[in-house]
């Protein structure tokens, strides 16, 4: 019983031929039209030959079958003349798309002879095809002389054979010309509109790709700054600790043990920060553990940073004026600039160097930070320009500062003082 019940539940969801949704007629026609246009673009000459052959055949059938006699003014028109007129009014259609004006001019003498002789072949209506393509492909001012050229045979026929009313004959032909021209203008407008939409879609796609590339480049630059700040600073601290431990190995073994402990702590901290950064970059689906959402360093972590630099052998004095009340992004910028300045002092300032940090907080998120050291000017000069092997220090600080419309100055201290000075200023936050 259970098997039967399951079958009964599944039967309504099964796809049956009678329940398949039918394709709307408009979509079918549109798809067919796209296929025809695609074939036309691939084989334009073949399509033109088929089109011209069809109307030439129709004109010859009208001539050979005697259908022209039902509307003719002169049933005694010679057969060779009728054949020449039929071919002269149909064969030029082969070039209707490339030279529509020339086609109409080529058909005009045959149309005049057709009207003058009184044969009144129906092939003369093929001039409307040329009118359509003139409206479709050429400037609209061409329609003035086109209309006059098409109406001339009608006027000649009416004047010579005197059958029918002038206004009726001219009005009928003029209406046909207007309809053919309007169809051409409508198709032309639609085509231009479609091309404009396609061009806009292409430009939007290109703009989207450019935005994605810019976002990727900006993200890469941000990651490079973070890795430079994390690895560069911690390695500089480790280097200073190792040098100090080596110097104290023979004189104070307990200082060596302290240096090794500090190296281990700094290394683990660097590995933790680097792992956290890499976890954020890792794809969630390929990661077995979610990224650790530890906040970025802020000014509350500045004391820990300075203690690490002091442990590496660089005396640092700090002066704070005002009370910190900055958003996290601004705090990170100030922190990273101070970190980079101290790192460069460790790397380039030389022995017996001291550093000083002055922080001044203003209103509405403004802050000024000045970091100076007493290193030799020749060594600390490298801080501002960066060596070719490491060109991210100063540019990274400037990029962070520019995000908040701030200014960053870095260079040797004015004489007679020696050393290097980094001055950061972030202005007030703009009103929301």
Using CA atoms, how far apart are residues 113 and 156, in angstroms rounded to an integer?
10
pLDDT category, 101, cuts 50, 70, 90? very high
Using CA atoms, how far apart are residues 144 and 232, in angstroms rounded to an integer?
78
Number of residues written out for the chain = 432
Domain-embedded: residue 397? yes
Predicted confidence (pLDDT) per residue in 154-183, tens digit: 888 888 877 666 777 788 888 999 999 999
In the listed set 164, 188, 221, which residue is the last one of a domain according to the structure? 164
Using CA atoms, how far apart are residues 270 and 22, in angstroms rounded to an integer?
64
In the listed set 164, 197, 221, which residue is the last one of a domain according to the structure? 164
| Number of domains the chain is built from | 2
Using CA atoms, how far apart are residues 125 and 150, in angstroms rounded to an integer?
9
| Helical axes 142-161 vs 166-248, angle rounded to 10° | 160
Q: Please report the pLDDT score of residue 326 as a whole number.
A: 83
Predicted confidence (pLDDT) per residue in 203-256, tens digit: 888 888 888 888 777 777 777 766 766 666 666 667 666 666 666 666 666 666
For the record, the structure tokens of 187 come out as: 């198709």
Q: What's the mean pLDDT when you consider all of the chain? A: 78
- Give the pairing of strands 316-321 and 355-361: parallel
CB 413 within 8 Å of CB 421: yes
Using the predicted structure, report yes or no on whether residue 152 has a pLDDT greater than 70.
Answer: yes
Predicted confidence (pLDDT) per residue in 385-413, tens digit: 444 334 567 787 888 788 888 899 988 88
Predicted confidence (pLDDT) per residue in 33-64, tens digit: 788 888 878 888 888 898 899 999 999 998 88
- Give the pairing of strands 420-426 and 367-373: antiparallel
Domain-embedded: residue 361? yes
- The CATH number that applies at residue 339 is 3.30.565.10
Using the predicted structure, report yes or no on whether residue 285 has a pLDDT greater than 50.
Answer: no
Domain-embedded: residue 268? no
Domain-embedded: residue 131? yes
CB 356 within 8 Å of CB 317: yes
Highest mean pLDDT among 6-15, 60-69, 80-89: 80-89
Q: Is the pTM of this model over 0.75?
A: no
The CB density around residue 181, as the number of other CB atoms within 10 Å, is 21
Domain-embedded: residue 127? yes
pLDDT category, 15, cuts 50, 70, 90? very low
Domain-embedded: residue 81? yes
CB 315 within 8 Å of CB 282: no
Domain-embedded: residue 384? yes
Of the listed ranges 19-23, 33-37, 247-251, 371-375, the one predicted with least confidence: 19-23
Using the predicted structure, report yes or no on whether residue 322 has a pLDDT greater than 80.
Answer: yes
Q: Please report the pLDDT score of residue 14 as a whole number.
A: 46
Domain-embedded: residue 144? yes
In the listed set 164, 185, 218, which residue is the last one of a domain according to the structure? 164
Cα separations (Å) of 372 from 353, 356, 380, 407, 410? 10, 5, 10, 16, 10
**In which domain, by residue range, is 340 found?**
299-305+313-432
């Amino acid at each position: 019983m259970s098997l039967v019940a399951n079958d009964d539940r599944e039967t309504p969801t099964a796809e049956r031929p009678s329940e398949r949704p039918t394709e709307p007629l408009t979509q079918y026609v549109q798809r067919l039209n796209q296929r025809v246009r695609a074939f036309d673009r691939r084989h334009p000459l073949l399509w033109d030959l088929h089109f011209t052959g069809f109307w030439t055949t129709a004109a010859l059938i009208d001539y050979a079958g005697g259908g022209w006699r039902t509307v003719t003014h002169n049933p005694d028109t010679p057969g060779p003349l009728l054949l020449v007129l039929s071919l002269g009014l149909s064969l030029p259609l082969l070039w209707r798309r490339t030279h529509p004006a020339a086609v109409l001019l080529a058909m005009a003498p045959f149309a005049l002879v057709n009207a003058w002789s009184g044969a009144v072949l129906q092939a003369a209506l093929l001039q409307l095809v040329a009118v359509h393509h003139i409206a479709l492909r050429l400037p609209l001012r061409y329609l003035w002389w086109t209309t006059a050229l098409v109406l001339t045979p009608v006027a000649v026929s009416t004047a010579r054979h005197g059958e029918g009313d002038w206004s009726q004959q001219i009005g009928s032909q003029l209406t046909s010309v207007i309809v053919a021209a309007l169809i051409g203008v409508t198709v032309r407008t639609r085509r231009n509109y479609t091309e404009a939409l396609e061009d806009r879609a292409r430009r939007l796609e290109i703009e989207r790709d450019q935005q994605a590339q810019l976002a990727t480049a900006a993200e890469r630059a941000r990651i490079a700054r973070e890795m430079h700040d994390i690895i560069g600073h911690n390695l500089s601290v480790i280097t200073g600790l190792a040098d100090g431990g080596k110097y104290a190995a023979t004189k104070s073994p307990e200082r060596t043990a302290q240096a090794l402990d500090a190296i281990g702590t700094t290394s683990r901290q660097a590995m933790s920060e680097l792992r956290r950064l890499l976890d954020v970059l890792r794809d969630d689906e390929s990661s077995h553990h979610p990224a650790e959402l530890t906040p970025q360093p802020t000014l509350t972590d500045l004391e820990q940073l300075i203690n690490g630099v002091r442990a590496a052998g660089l005396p640092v004095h700090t002066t704070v004026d005002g009370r910190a009340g900055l958003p996290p992004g601004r705090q990170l910028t100030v922190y990273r600039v101070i970190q980079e300045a101290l790192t460069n002092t460790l790397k380039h300032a030389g022995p017996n160097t001291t550093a000083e940090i002055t922080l001044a907080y203003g209103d509405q998120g403004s802050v000024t930070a000045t970091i100076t050291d007493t290193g030799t000017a020749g060594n600390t000069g490298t801080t501002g320009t960066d060596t070719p092997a490491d060109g991210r220090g100063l540019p990274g600080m400037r990029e962070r500062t520019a995000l908040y419309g701030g200014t960053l100055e870095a260079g040797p201290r004015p004489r007679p003082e020696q050393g290097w000075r980094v001055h950061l200023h972030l202005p007030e936050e703009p009103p929301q």
